[in-house]
Structure 1
Amino acid sequence: MPDPTATAPPVEAIDRALVLLETLASAGPGGLSVAELAATTGLNKTTLHRALAALRHRGFADQDPSSGTYALGAAAVGLGDAFLREDNLPGLLHPALLALSRAAGELVHLACSSARASSISTRLSPSGRCASSPRSAAATPR
């Protein structure tokens, strides 16, 4: 989420690349042409070409060879997957679990399981005490 108090981006090149990633993500799988990206982002085409070349080099953007449009690349999706992986969920959901536990005055239990045959269990009390433990999926009924 952007910092509403910031007046200018600390590093403009990084900010431009992030704006491009957000724009490509919003465009969906059909992608956008350089002209559409320029109109949407307000960046000039030369700047866009340089930023897109860097994003393509790292796999964060793909270009359709027939249409020339750009779309979000697999590396960007990989970032989201890594962030939302199951063993990261207890940390991501901690504020919501704590609020729920305090509102209900009860212990809250979060269990995550996956095809990797593992699960993570988190228990959070209204006082904020937390216990997480990886458990075998074989021992956990589904």
Structure 2
Amino acid sequence: MPGPIQSLERAAAILRLLAGGERRLGLSEVSASLGLAKGTAHGILRTLQQEGFVEQDPESGKYQLGAELLRLGQSYLDVHELRARALVWADDLARASGETVYLGVLHQHGVLIVHHVFRPDDSRQVLEVGSMQPLHSTALGKVLLAHDPVARGELDDYPPESFTSRTLVDLAAIDEECALTRERGWSAAVEETWAGVASIGALIQDRRRNPVGAVCISGAVERVCEAGVVRPELVVAVREAARAISRDLGAARF
């Protein structure tokens, strides 16, 4: 059985050291505290800094924990609480709409599906928990793009991919869609990722009104849409589910 990887052990030790203090630490302090050569400590710190796990003060040159660690920790807590709070409401939404329900959170440069309720019929379906969906061409992704600056920043680093003739790839057009989503309180994606599939999504917030995820229904265009427009009763159902989950997470009524 392979043993532990020394470089990862040292990186973890540095993170624990920075987490245990009340002040920033310089390279010499990190090196001396952990018994590492300065060159080794510097190389690990630079790598952690590049990944956002460590930040360096530009004036003193000292190091402290980075924001990426906070985001990952908050994401872990939010995802587990989010799933627990959403179970009943997602089931109710699937029954009321007759369609598939997804719960998604921002993960790297896409949307991670953390809960999936099958369409309530006898059709053959595949569980998609753990799969990824695009940010720019799905209802879940559009909601997160509209409300989470971190999500929007991902598009600058990873240019949008075209999946169908309806996919928006121009950033200005995507920003217009985001503004519309914020204004009306819901998103829609009609055949933008998969031909014949339409989805409607709404934002989930926590007690601090932070965007922690999104919920959507997804199904065949002919069921989700009418005369080329998403059915208003389905929009209402999705928004009510998102509000209910948000309230269970402590958000004020909205």
TM-score by length of 2: 0.33
* Cα distance, 1:89 vs structure 2: 3.7
Considering only aligned residues, what root-mean-square deviation do their CA atoms show, in Å?
A: 3.3
Matched, 1:20 2:7: no
What SS does the aligned partner of 2:55 have? strand
* Cα distance, 1:44 vs structure 2: 1.3
Shift of the 39–80 alpha-carbon distance from structure 1 to 2, 3 Å rule, reads same
| Code of the aligned partner of 2:66 | G
Query: 1:48-67 counterparts in 2 under 5 A?
Result: 48-67=41-60
In 1, Cα distance between equivalents of 2:59 and 2:65: 16
**Partner residue, 2:136:** none
What SS does the aligned partner of 1:84 have? helix
Runs of 4+ in 1 over 4 A off after TM superposition: none
In 2, Cα distance between equivalents of 1:16 and 1:9: 14
Point out where structure 1 has 5 or more consecutive residues left out of the alignment.
1-7, 93-112, 118-133
> Percent identity over the alignment?
34
In 1, Cα distance between equivalents of 2:77 and 2:35: 31
Shift of the 9–46 alpha-carbon distance from structure 1 to 2, 3 Å rule, reads farther
Deviations 1:33-73 (A, max 9, x none): 11111121111111011001100101111111111100000
Shift of the 57–90 alpha-carbon distance from structure 1 to 2, 3 Å rule, reads closer
In 1, Cα distance between equivalents of 2:3 and 2:10: 9
Matched, 1:88 2:181: no
Shift of the 42–79 alpha-carbon distance from structure 1 to 2, 3 Å rule, reads same
| Code of the aligned partner of 2:42 | H
TM-score by length of 1: 0.57
* Cα distance, 1:20 vs structure 2: 0.8
Shift of the 19–9 alpha-carbon distance from structure 1 to 2, 3 Å rule, reads farther
The one of 89, 102, 114 aligned to 2:207: 114
The size of the alignment, in residue pairs, is 98
| Code of the aligned partner of 1:114 | R
| Code of the aligned partner of 2:21 | A
Matched, 1:46 2:46: no
